[in-house]
Amino acid sequence: MAETQSSVKEVIPDIGGNFALDEGVIEVLPLGSRVLEASSFGTSAWTRTARIRVQLSDGSSKQYFLKCATEGGEVMMEGEFNSMTELHKLAPSFVPQPHAWGKFRLASPTTHFFLCDFIDMENEMPDPVAFCARLAEIHLNSQSPTGQFGFAVPNCHGKIVQANNWDPSWTSYFTKLLDSFFQIEIGINGPWPEYEQAFKVIMKTVVPQLLDPLQADGRVLKPSLVHGDLWEENAAINLSTGEPVVFDASAFYAHNEYELGTWRREIIKFGRSHFNQYFRNIPPSEPVEQWDDRIRLYSLKFNLAHMIGWPGAPFVREEYVSFYGTFKTSRLTKEG
């Protein structure tokens, strides 16, 4: 029996190191392919990544991008494969073509992988006009297979599992999504009564106040396929075409404005020009006067993901308290 690798770090070494490609990956390559080189490439917070060069049966060469993970790897890799597959169907030049996901044969602990086309990229902010036009095309042209909000399989925002169970109500779906991230965050960072009280009120009052109107008074809210984690680390420029490209998706069918929630965070480089360009393609949903508040609400979920992945950032909890304070003041003013 062949030796197993003791960890994912031995399966794919540090940046620049070559390694023997696992049989589980070789099996999903095109028939007749010959592996020329497999080397670690790039960095990732939760996974190991590599570039694979192969010679195809017709003598031509091709490069693939490999990502693998151990703990939680099955949900993570299957979820990304399905996310990228659905996005690629709608925008093949905007999303690298996914090829497979699977399990390493010789790795211990158990290691799963995701394989897609390798694209030479420049890690620069893409042009807002082209980028937002492509993104809007996905939002406009996608169709939920059930007509509901959710996704066919669980996937991961970073390393956090999103259940993605189908739900006809966007308010209900987002409430469950936000609460699941909150419970994980509290478990990691510990209690803070003021923050917990603010979250409780936001869930009970603010979420329905902002989201219920989207599906009220005869309005129909289309579930749109979203990338799900669209910030500058998951977008780049394709060096071969000069066009924008996105990756590392945690897709599901959502209110299209949810996609912009992460852009509302102060530490994110996507800004006013991207909002303006996006809304030139898809105007804000009705009620229009609530669009900024909705996107601020959506940003809270991305803030929770940040606190889970990088514990100890107090500004995230302070934003919840501030958001609660904004609506408390507004409500008192109206009642006065």
Q: How high is the mean pLDDT in each 10-residue block of the chain (336 residues)?
A: 46 71 96 95 80 97 95 94 98 98 89 97 93 98 98 95 96 98 95 92 95 97 98 96 97 98 91 96 97 96 92 78 74 40
> Which pLDDT score, from 0 to 100, does residue 2 have?
40
> Which pLDDT score, from 0 to 100, does residue 107 have?
77
Cα within 13 Å of Cα(291), Cβ side? 16
Helix H or strand E segment including 9: helix 8-11
Amino acid making up residue 204: K
> Which pLDDT score, from 0 to 100, does residue 223 have?
98
175-185 as b/e, with b when 16 or more CB fall inside 10 Å?
bbbbebbbebb
**81 vs 88: CA distance, rounded Å:** 10
> Which pLDDT score, from 0 to 100, does residue 10 have?
58
**223 vs 150: CA distance, rounded Å:** 8
Give bridge partners of residue 114 from the DSSP assignment: 67, 101
Measured between alpha carbons, how far is residue 244 from residues 103, 113, 161 in Å? 31, 25, 27
> Which pLDDT score, from 0 to 100, does residue 5 have?
43
> Which pLDDT score, from 0 to 100, does residue 322 have?
85
> Which pLDDT score, from 0 to 100, does residue 310 have?
87
- Joined together, the tokens standing for residue 101 give 């996901």
Give bridge partners of residue 167 from the DSSP assignment: 149
> Which pLDDT score, from 0 to 100, does residue 15 have?
57
**39 vs 102: CA distance, rounded Å:** 19
Nearest by Cα to 306 from 202, 233, 208? 233
Q: What is the pTM of this model?
A: 0.93
> Which pLDDT score, from 0 to 100, does residue 108 have?
77
Residue 4, exposed/middle/buried by CB under 10 A (0-12, 13-18, 19+)? middle
> Which pLDDT score, from 0 to 100, does residue 3 have?
39
**181 vs 334: CA distance, rounded Å:** 32
The answer to whether the beta carbons of residues 148 and 222 sit under 8 Å apart is no
Residue at token pair 């996006």: 278
**321 vs 299: CA distance, rounded Å:** 14
Amino acid making up residue 168: P
Nearest by Cα to 5 from 108, 121, 78? 108
Helix H or strand E segment including 50: strand 48-55
**42 vs 234: CA distance, rounded Å:** 13
**326 vs 319: CA distance, rounded Å:** 10
- Joined together, the tokens standing for residue 110 give 């158990």
> Which pLDDT score, from 0 to 100, does residue 14 have?
61
> Which pLDDT score, from 0 to 100, does residue 43 have?
67
> Which pLDDT score, from 0 to 100, does residue 323 have?
83
Give bridge partners of residue 12 from the DSSP assignment: none
